[in-house]
Chains A and B, each alone.
Chain A
Amino acid sequence: MKVGVIVFPGTNCDRDTKWAFEKIGAKVDFVWHTEHSLKEYDIIVLPGGFSYGDYLRSGAIARFSPVMQNVAEFAKKGGYVLGICNGFQILLESHLLPGAMTRNENLHFISKFHHLKVIDNNNKFLQNLNVNDIVNIPIAHAEGNYKVDDNTLKEMYDNGQVLLKYCDENGNELNPNGSVDSIAGICNKEKNVFGLMPHPERAMESILGGIDGIKMIEGFFK
């Protein structure tokens, strides 16, 4: 399994992401934002950070970098794409996923472990988990307040595209940032493009607080 981790100016979770995928046995390359060919990869990951300084809107400038045209083509051909945090924002701005991000309702940058509930597991990414499973994964963002229009949201539920919601340790809905329906992670209709605000790559070692990220990332290798 070969994974390409895209690196933009301002990306800062690239090394954690590489390490996480290597931990479960993948071969991982960094792919600089000016690269054109993604042919050799099985999975493309857009890691977290502050690509292009979050100027204009988070992810808005990264969308026009050369590599993103190729990520869009890679996705169109059915390749697996995972966007984590800023990577999720870039996928939204690129229209590879529906909706948009706004500032957290409380205006704070929120950085802490947060529980998530699995809403749908009928996809590659969450296939190792069960519906209603609760995982504990760090979040770290200022713009994770997910917005989408009502019609699209309904379609997303019907198609099984709403994957993860924020909750407390007992699974009761708990919304840290104001997201519509406490949504933390979604996928596209074809179920090959995934985006989530939480950082599974930061939950890979019990000494660092938890290992719930392993089950998620391992889904890609089944």
Chain B
Amino acid sequence: MKIAVNVHLKKGVLDPQGKAVLHALETLGFDDVKDVRVGKQILIDINTTNKEKAIEVAKKMADELLANPVIENYEIEVKE
């Protein structure tokens, strides 16, 4: 089962990369961009067909390693 863990900086933590992308988009003429946040997506292929179990394992992975709870939030997405 393929699982995506999407990691983003928490609201309130300044995202300098997002800011830089925002300015670049403005330079390109995209005037109506309000905000940009850059995160990362970690794709994991877990050796199970049990969706609940896969989510549970992915959550554990995110808590222990993939996200840093001091500055980051994450969401888990089942791909297939």
B interface residue numbers (CB < 8 A to A)? 9, 13-14, 16-17, 20, 65-66, 68, 70-71
Contacts and interface: CB of A to CB of B under 8 A. Distances in A.
Interface string A94-105: 000001101111
Contacts of A147: 13, 70-71
B70 A178 contact: no
Contact of A105 (B16, B70, B71): B16
Given A56-B66, A60-B65, A147-B13, A102 B71 contact: yes
B17 to A, nearest CB: 6
A221 interface: no
Interface residues of A, number: 19
B70 A148 contact: yes
Contacts of A120: none
B27 to A, nearest CB: 15
A64 B65 CA distance: 9
B9 to A, nearest CB: 7
A100 B17 CA distance: 17
